[in-house]
């Protein structure tokens, strides 16, 4: 089985959020299971600036259907520590902003890229069996295959899986952004490409892919409801027999508390953890004390992440004598809030409003607790990274957070604390409970630390599940031929 894994973001080449982590890890683990897999992504400006060892393999390809007939070239590299080949679709005019989503015409970028990927596959990997596309940016690939190339000798046989990492982002554009794709006009109606007068790239992906999956079982259920469905719940329900949920893993080789060079000290036991914490407090200018719990948040700063709840209760929690560390960028209203907060509580709050992978690791390793009170969370990686470094997550039980965090009771094997209703009162209760255990129940806290360190979120199971899913997709096609 030959699989193309297509994503707009891939670690270490370009990362904005969790999608990049998955795209940089899952293909490696699929390959370890002897699958023939390659990755395709755009040659973003940030890659041109930082990676100069990529090899040109072909030039002057032109997309097959797209209105924009500009040529693109293809470069080749590898995922680190692996022999998974990554192909970069290069068109400097289109992918020319520092921020990978900073371009003026994201619809043009996405649609041009999708059609170019198919041209590339037809020419260079004609024996591809299946394409796993990710999120709205790559969602037009299934639409092109089913509408424009279904009679093509090569492309007509390829199956598709769409993975939804976040239904909150759909690629909704005005009608002209549909016209430039080169998809047939007659599909611009509410059953297919039209979405309340606009076009919606993710909707096209859901409709035309053979299988849709998302990144946890609970989220796969949730998105079929009006509350979480972002107006696509009906479309998703109509696809429910082909809708799956596979929880992400984290890359246990890269995120290894025993060998991670980015953290202050390898973590073998609880004392090592405390040493990381003291060093983190020092680095961030917080009061250095092992008795004061450090709680952190590493996140894109948007409404999805439950930041309004934090705003409402953070000062009450600071009265419990704990320290709060933020690393994130995003909405100005949240950046301003956290900035102000750290000015008012300089020894208790550290706001780091930038993107820094190195500092992220130091925070994962040096915190006692990690906050993720998300409004919705398809999977969530932060809670898993935290646990890997012995940091106790405090989460809202939704989506993948509900599938990975188990409430701690003294007798049980829980690995965190959480709450269900989206209220600041319930978040404060969960924080208070965690602080209580930290300050008053040392033995139990160490047990929690052990339970977190023992939790297993490695990619082996995730890769196995994807392999099964791909087989299901290929079987579907055979069923259709009989």
Cα–Cα distance between 187 and 143 in angstroms, integer?
A: 10
Kindly state the smallest distance separating residue 126's Cβ from ligand ADQ, in Å.
Answer: 30
Residue 244's closest CA among 6, 465, 1, 33?
465
Q: What phi and psi values does residue 410 have, to the nearest 5 degrees?
A: -60, -35
Q: CA–CA distance from 400 to each of 263, 414, 432 (Å)?
A: 26, 16, 23
**Residue 333 labeled ligand binder:** no
Quote the least distance from Cβ 114 to ligand ADQ, whole Å.
20
Name the residue nearer to ligand ADQ (CB basis): 106 or 145. 106
The distance of closest approach from Cβ of residue 370 to ligand ADQ in the complex, given in angstroms and rounded to an integer, is 10
Alpha-carbon separation of residue 349 from 76, 275, 346, 430 (angstroms)? 44, 19, 6, 19
Using CA atoms of 465, 4, 254, 53 in order, give the dihedral in degrees to the nearest 10.
170
Nearer Cβ to ligand ADQ, position 166 or 350?
166
Rounded Cα–Cα distance for residues 65 and 183 (Å) = 7
Question: Smallest gap, in angstroms, from Cβ of residue 5 to ligand ADQ?
Answer: 13
Interface residues toward ligand ADQ, by CB under 6 A? 17-19, 21-22, 165-166, 215, 248, 298-300, 327-329, 355-357, 360, 377-382, 400
Q: Which is nearer to ligand ADQ, 20 or 193 (CB)?
A: 20
Angle at 322 between CA 318 and CA 326, to 5 degrees: 85
User: Can you read off the two tokens belonging to residue 88?
Assistant: 């970069």
* 3-state secondary structure at position 14: strand
Considering the complex, state which of residue 370 and residue 437 has its C-beta at the smaller distance from ligand ADQ.
370
Residue closer to ligand ADQ (CB basis): 159 or 165: 165
Q: Name the CA dihedral angle for 354, 357, 362, 367, rounded to a multiple of 10 degrees.
A: 60
Query: Considering the complex, what minimum distance in angstroms separates the CB of residue 385 from ligand ADQ?
Result: 6
Token duo for residue 158: 């390829």
Q: Which is nearer to ligand ADQ, 73 or 339 (CB)?
A: 339
Half-sphere exposure (Cβ direction) of 42: Cα atoms closer than 13 Å? 29
Pairing of strands 130-134, 72-78: unpaired
- Closest CB to ligand ADQ among residues 316, 420: 420
Query: Using CB atoms, what's the residue nearest to ligand ADQ?
Result: 17
**Residues forming beta bridges with residue 369, ordered by sequence position:** 295, 392
Find the shortest distance in angstroms from Cβ 173 to ligand ADQ.
21
- Could you give the 3-state DSSP secondary structure of residue 240? helix
> Is 343 exposed, middle or buried, given 0-12, 13-18 or 19+ CB atoms closer than 10 A?
exposed
| Token pair 């639409």: residue | 143
Q: Is the CB of 245 or the CB of 293 nearer to ligand ADQ?
A: 245
Cα 449 to Cα 20: distance, rounded to the nearest angstrom: 28
How far are the Cα atoms of 44, 88, 95, 359 from residue 92, in angstroms, in the given order? Answer: 8, 12, 5, 31
Taking the complex as a whole, how short is the minimal distance between the CB of residue 7 and ligand ADQ, in angstroms?
Answer: 10
Give the span between the Cα atoms of 310 and 371, in whole angstroms: 9
* Closest distance to ligand ADQ from the beta carbon of 358 (Å): 8
Nearer to ligand ADQ, 62 or 357 (CB): 357
User: Could you tell me the smallest distance in angstroms from the CB atom of residue 330 to ligand ADQ?
Assistant: 8
CB of 265 to ligand ADQ, least distance (A): 20
C-beta of 183 vs 463, nearer to ligand ADQ: 463
C-beta closer to ligand ADQ: residue 392 or 435: 392
- Three-state SS for 107? helix
Distances (CA, A) of 29 to 15, 83, 249, 265: 19, 11, 10, 27
Tokens of 388: 């890997």
Label residue 38 left, alpha or beta by phi (over 0 means left) and psi (-120 to 50 means alpha). Answer: beta
> Closest distance between ligand ADQ and the C-beta of residue 52, in Å?
24
Tokens of residue 390, six digits: 């012995």
Give the CA count within 13 Å in the CB-facing half-sphere of 183: 32
Residue 369 sits at the vertex; the CA angle it makes with 364 and 375, to the nearest 5 degrees, is 95
Question: What residue numbers does the annotated binding site cover?
Answer: 15
Question: What residue numbers does the annotated binding site for ADP-alpha-D-glucose cover?
Answer: 15
């Amino acid at each position: 089985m030959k699989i193309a894994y297509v994503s707009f973001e891939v670690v270490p080449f370009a990362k904005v959020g969790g999608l990049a982590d998955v795209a940089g890890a899952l293909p490696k683990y699929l390959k370890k299971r002897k699958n023939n897999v390659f990755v395709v992504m755009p040659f973003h400006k940030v890659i041109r600036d930082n990676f100069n060892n990529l090899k040109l393999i072909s030039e002057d390809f032109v997309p097959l259907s797209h209105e924009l007939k500009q040529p693109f070239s293809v470069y080749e590299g590898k995922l680190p520590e692996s022999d998974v080949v990554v192909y970069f679709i290069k068109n400097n005019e289109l992918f020319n902003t520092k921020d990978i989503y900073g371009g003026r015409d994201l619809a043009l970028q996405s649609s041009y890229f999708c059609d170019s990927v198919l041209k590339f596959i037809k020419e260079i990997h004609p024996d591809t069996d299946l394409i796993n596309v990710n999120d709205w940016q790559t969602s037009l690939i299934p639409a092109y295959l089913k509408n424009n190339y279904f009679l093509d000798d090569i492309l007509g046989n390829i199956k598709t899986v769409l993975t939804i990492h976040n239904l909150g982002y759909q690629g909704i554009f005005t009608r002209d952004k549909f016209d430039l794709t080169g998809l047939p006009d007659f599909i611009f109606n509410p059953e297919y490409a039209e979405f309340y007068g606009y076009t919606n790239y993710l909707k096209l992906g859901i409709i035309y892919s053979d299988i849709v999956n998302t990144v946890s079982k609970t989220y796969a259920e949730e998105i079929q409801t009006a509350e979480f469905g972002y107006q696509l719940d009906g479309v998703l329900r109509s696809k429910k027999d082909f809708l799956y949920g596979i929880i992400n893993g984290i890359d246990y080789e890269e995120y290894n508390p025993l060998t991670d060079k980015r953290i202050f000290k390898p973590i073998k036991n609880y004392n090592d953890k405390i040493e990381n914490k003291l060093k983190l407090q020092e680095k961030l200018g917080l009061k250095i004390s092992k008795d004061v719990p450090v709680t952190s948040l590493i996140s894109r700063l948007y409404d999805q992440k439950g930041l309004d709840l934090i705003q409402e209760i953070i000062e009450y929690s600071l009265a419990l004598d704990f320290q709060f560390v933020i690393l994130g960028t995003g909405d100005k209203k949240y950046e301003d809030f956290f900035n102000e907060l750290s000015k008012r509580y300089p020894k208790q709050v550290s706001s780091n409003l930038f993107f820094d992978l190195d500092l992220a690791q130091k925070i994962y390793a040096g915190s006692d607790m990690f906050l993720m009170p998300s409004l919705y969370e398809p999977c969530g990686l932060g809670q898993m990274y935290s646990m890997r470094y012995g940091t106790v997550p405090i989460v809202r039980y939704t989506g993948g957070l509900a599938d990975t965090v188990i409430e701690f009771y003294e007798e049980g094997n829980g690995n965190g604390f959480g709450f269900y209703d989206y209220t600041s009162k319930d978040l404060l209760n969960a924080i208070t409970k965690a602080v209580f255990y930290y300050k008053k129940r040392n033995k139990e806290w160490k047990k929690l630390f052990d339970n977190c360190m023992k939790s297993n979120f490695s990619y082996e199971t995730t890769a196995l599940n994807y392999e099964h899913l791909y087989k299901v997709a290929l079987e579907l096609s055979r069923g259709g031929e009989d």
